[in-house]
C-alpha cells in the first residue's frame, strides 16, 4: 500500500512539474493537474494540502541535495574558518544563482503577498539556512575562532556580503555572468570583509 501511495505521489509531482513549467505558478490549477494525473481532486489534496505546498515540494526535491551539501561545507573545527566560509559561500552562490533557482526565487517573490508560498519557502529555505549557519558561527565563536557576537546577526551580515555584488542584478533581472571564477572572487571579497569584522580579537 505504501509503495502504491508513493507511486501516486510521484506521479502527481511529475505532472505538476510539467504544468508549472508550461503555464507558470499563477495560471496553474489543481484541477488541471488532477485532470492530467487522473482521479479526484480530493486525492491530490490528501497528498498536498495546497498548490503552494505542491510547488514547494517540487522545488525542494530538485535542490535539497545541493542545499545539504552547501551547509555540510561548514566545519567549525577547521584550522581555517575563512576557508570553510569560502567553500560554503561558493556553493551557496552557485545554488542561489543557478538559472533554475533564480527563476523559482523570482516566482516566490512575485507571489509572496498572495498566499502562503512566500512564508512556506522562507521557513524551509532562508530561515532553515539561518539556523544552520548560526549554529556554525556560534560554535566557531565558542572555540575562539571568531569573536563573540550575536550569531544570527553575524549570519545575516555574512549572507548580505555574499549576495551584495549580485543582488541588484537578480532583483532587476539584469543578466550577469555567474561563472565559477566570478563567484570565487565575490566570495573571497565577502569573506575577507566578514573576517575583518568578526575575526578573533
Cα distance between residue 2 and residue 16, in whole Å? 21
Q: Are residues 155 and 66 in the same domain?
A: yes
90-111 per-position pLDDT tens digit: 999 999 999 888 878 887 887 7
Using the predicted structure, report yes or no on whether residue 156 has a pLDDT greater than 90. Answer: yes
What was the pLDDT predicted at 186?
98
Using the predicted structure, report yes or no on whether residue 1 has a pLDDT greater than 60. Answer: no
Cα distance between residue 67 and residue 184, in whole Å? 18
Q: Name the grid cell of 90.
A: 561558493
Q: Are residues 60 and 156 in the same domain?
A: yes
Q: Name the grid cell of 78.
A: 577547521
Q: Are residues 26 and 119 in the same domain?
A: no
Q: Are residues 12 and 70 in the same domain?
A: no
Q: How confident is the model at residue 201 (pLDDT cuts 50, 70, 90)?
A: confident
Cα distances from 170 to residues 63, 103, 105, 126, in angstroms, run: 19, 10, 9, 16
Final residue of a structural domain among 48, 69, 85:
48
Q: Are residues 108 and 172 in the same domain?
A: yes
50-77 per-position pLDDT tens digit: 888 898 888 888 888 999 999 999 999 9
pTM: predicted TM-score of the whole model, two decimal places = 0.82
Cα distance between residue 158 and residue 80, in whole Å? 16
Write the CATH number for 29. 1.10.10.60
What's the total number of domains in the chain?
Answer: 2
Write the CATH number for 190. 1.10.357.10
**Residues of the domain holding 161:** 52-198
Q: Are residues 79 and 139 in the same domain?
A: yes
Q: Are residues 135 and 36 in the same domain?
A: no
Q: Are residues 91 and 167 in the same domain?
A: yes
Amino acid at each position: 500500500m505504501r509503495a502504491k501511495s508513493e507511486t501516486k505521489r510521484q506521479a502527481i509531482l511529475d505532472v505538476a512539474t510539467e504544468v508549472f513549467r508550461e503555464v507558470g505558478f499563477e495560471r496553474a490549477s489543481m484541477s488541471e493537474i488532477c485532470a492530467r494525473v487522473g482521479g479526484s481532486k480530493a486525492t491530490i489534496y490528501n497528498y498536498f494540502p495546497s498548490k503552494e505546498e505542491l510547488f514547494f515540494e517540487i522545488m525542494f526535491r530538485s535542490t535539497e541535495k545541493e542545499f545539504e551539501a552547501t551547509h555540510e561545507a561548514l566545519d567549525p573545527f577547521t584550522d581555517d574558518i575563512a576557508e570553510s566560509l569560502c567553500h560554503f559561500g561558493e556553493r551557496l552562490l552557485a545554488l542561489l544563482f543557478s538559472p533554475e533557482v533564480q527563476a523559482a526565487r523570482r516566482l516566490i517573490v512575485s507571489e509572496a503577498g498572495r498566499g502562503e508560498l512566500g512564508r512556506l519557502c522562507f521557513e524551509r529555505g532562508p530561515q532553515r539556512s539561518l539556523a544552520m549557519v548560526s549554529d556554525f558561527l556560534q560554535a566557531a565563536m565558542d572555540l575562539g575562532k571568531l569573536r563573540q557576537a550575536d550569531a544570527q546577526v553575524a549570519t545575516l551580515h555574512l549572507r548580505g556580503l555574499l549576495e551584495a555584488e549580485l543582488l541588484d542584478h537578480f532583483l532587476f533581472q539584469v543578466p550577469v555572468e555567474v561563472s565559477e571564477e566570478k563567484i570565487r572572487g565575490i566570495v573571497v571579497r565577502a569573506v575577507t570583509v566578514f573576517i575583518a569584522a568578526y575575526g578573533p580579537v
